[in-house]
Amino acid sequence: MATEFEPGAAVGSYRVHHLLAQGGMAMVYDAAHRILPRRVALKVMHQHLLDRPEAAQRLLQEACILEAFAHPGAVRVFDCGVLPDRRPWIAMEYVGGESLAALFARAGALPIAAVVGLMTAIADVIAAADRAGIVHRDLKPENVLVVDPAGGEVRVIDWGIAHHPVGPRLTLENLSLGTPTYIAPEQALGRPVDGRADVYALGVIAYEAVVGRPPFASDHALAMVLKHLLEAPPPVRAQRPDVPCCLAALIEAMLAKDPEHRPTAREVRARLAPLQAGAAPVACDHDDALGAYCELVVTDAATEDAPAFEVLPPPATTWQRDPAWAGRRAPRAARAAAIVDV
C-alpha cells in the first residue's frame, strides 16, 4: 500500500508508526501521542479529495458523531484537526482484532452461538444510535471490527455518512450513500431513513453469517439494488437447515422490504435474548408451522439497556409459514413478540 506519511512523521500531537489501511476517503495509520501513552488509529483524508468539500465534511462529521455518541461498541475519538494543506484528520481509539469481512472470508458460515453474539452486540450499538437519532447508513462487515469473537465484542466504525439530527446531512447529490450488497430498499430509493435501515443491513450481515454468503449476489450495483427492491431472499433454513427457527424467522423479518414491517434494533436484541441465554431449540416442521413458540413481553422492569421479559404460554393457534409472515410484527408499543424454539 502506498503511504503519504513515513514512520516518525508528525500529525498534530501524534507520531505515525505505519500504515494500517486505506479506503476511498482516507488512510488510517497506527500512531501514538508524542507525550501521553496513547496508541491511536489516525485517519487522514486523501490529498486528491481536497477539491471535494463534502469529503472533508464527511470526515469531520464522523468525528462529531463519535464524540456525541459515546457507546462501548463505537470507537472513541480523542482528537481531530486540520493539516496545513487543509486536510482533516481524526485520532481514534486503536482497536485490535479483525473486520467481520475478514472473519467471513476466513471462516465462512459461523457457528450459531457466534452469530447470535455478534448480532446482539451490533444490535445494541445501532439501538443506542437510534435512540440518539443517528442512522449509520453504511453498516457492512468491513465496518464491524470483531474484538472478541467468543464474547461477541465488536466496534462499529466508519460513521462518515451517518445521519445525525444536529449535524450536516450529506445527500445523494454530493455523496453515494450505502453499499449495494447491504443497502435497505428505502435508502436505495433515496427516501428518508431511520434506524430500521440499519436493521435491514444487519439482517443482510446476519444472513451472510449463517449461510456463508449474502442473500443477493450480482456483479453490477444497479442489479444488486433491484434485487433488494424486488426479490425475496432465499429462506434461511433452505440454505442451512440447522439454523433455529426463531433465528431464521428473525433474520427474514429484518429483511422485510417495508421498514414498517421490520423489528427495531431494540426488538432484535430482545428476540435474540432467549438464544443468547442458552434456550435449547428443537426441530421445527417448515411444511406446517414455525414450531413451538412463546411471546416475550417487555415488563415494567425493563430498561433500554437491560430489557426484562415475561414468558407467556403459547396460544392455541400457530403461525403458518407463508410469504407474508416476514411482514408481520408486534405493534410499536412496549411489546416484543418473538418466535422462539422451546
Sequence spans of domains, the chain: 10-93, 98-278
What is the pairing mode between strands 77-82 and 39-45?
unpaired
- Specify the length of the chain in residues: 342
Does residue 333 carry a pLDDT above 80? no
Report which residue type is found at 114: A
Cell triple for residue 180? 449495494
The cell for 37 is 501513552
| pLDDT given at position 341 | 34
Q: Tens digits of per-residue pLDDT, 236-252?
A: 999 999 999 999 999 99
Q: Write out the three cell numbers for 197.
A: 435501515
Residue 279: pLDDT band with limits 50, 70, 90: low
pLDDT tens per residue, range 155-169: 999 888 887 654 443
What are the residues whose beta carbons fall under 8 Å from the beta carbon of 5, sequence distance 6 or more? 11, 16, 19, 27, 29, 44
Q: How far is the C-alpha of 263 from the C-alpha of 205, rounded, in Å?
A: 15
What does the block give as the cell for 287?
A: 411444511
Domain 10-93, classified CATH 3.30.200.20, yes or no: yes
Measured distance CA(94)–CA(134) in Å, rounded: 23
**Confidence bin at 295 (pLDDT 50/70/90):** very low
Tell me how far apart the alpha carbons of residues 163 and 141 are, in angstroms, rounded to a whole number: 19
Tell me the whole-structure pTM to 2 decimals.
0.79
C-alpha–C-alpha distance, residues 318 and 305, integer Å: 31
For residue 66, how far is the Cα from the chain centroid?
15
Q: DSSP string spanning 307-339?
A: --EEEEPPPSS--B--TTGGG----SSS-B---
Report whether 118 contacts 155 (CB < 8 A).
no
Q: Helix, strand, or coil here: 6? A: coil
Neighbours of 113 (CB within 10 A): 13
Quote the CA–CA distance of 270 and 337 in Å, as a whole number: 9
What are the start-end ranges of the H helices in the chain? Answer: 53-68, 100-107, 112-131, 185-188, 195-211, 221-230, 236-239, 245-254, 265-276
Average pLDDT score over residue span 253-257: 97
- The C-alpha atoms of residue 136 and residue 122 are separated, in whole angstroms, by 12
| pLDDT of residue 326 exceeding 60 | no
pLDDT score, position 179: 87
Nearest to 69 by CA among 174, 187, 159: 159
**Amino acid at position 253, single letter:** A
Find the range with the poorest average confidence among 33-37, 53-57, 287-291: 287-291
Q: How far apart are CA 276 and CA 10, in angstroms?
A: 46
- State the Cα–Cα distance between residues 280 and 274, nearest whole angstrom: 9
Share of the chain above pLDDT 90, in %: 61
Instruction: Please report how the helices 265-276 and 195-211 are oriented relative to each other, as an axis angle in degrees rounded to 10.
Output: 30
Lowest mean pLDDT among 25-29, 91-95, 158-162, 313-317: 313-317
Select which of 124, 130, 138, 341 is catalytic: 138
* Known catalytic residue at 138: yes
Provide the CATH number for the domain formed by 98-278 in this structure. Answer: 1.10.510.10
Segment 249-278 mean pLDDT: 94
**Is the model's pLDDT at 51 over the cut of 70?**
yes
Average pLDDT rounded to a whole number, residues 298-316: 41
Assess whether pLDDT exceeds 90 at residue 145: yes
Residue 23 — very low, low, confident or very high, per pLDDT cuts 50/70/90? confident
Instruction: Report the alpha-carbon distance of residue 269 to residue 37 in Å, rounded.
Output: 36
Whether residue 322 has pLDDT greater than 70: no
Is residue 167 a contact partner of residue 133, using CB atoms and an 8 Å limit?
A: no
Q: What is the mean pLDDT of the chain?
A: 80
Distance CA 63, CA 291 (A): 46
| Confidence at residue 99, expressed as pLDDT on a 0 to 100 scale | 93
Taking 3-state DSSP, the helix, strand and coil percentages for the chain, each rounded to the nearest 5, stand at 35, 20, 50
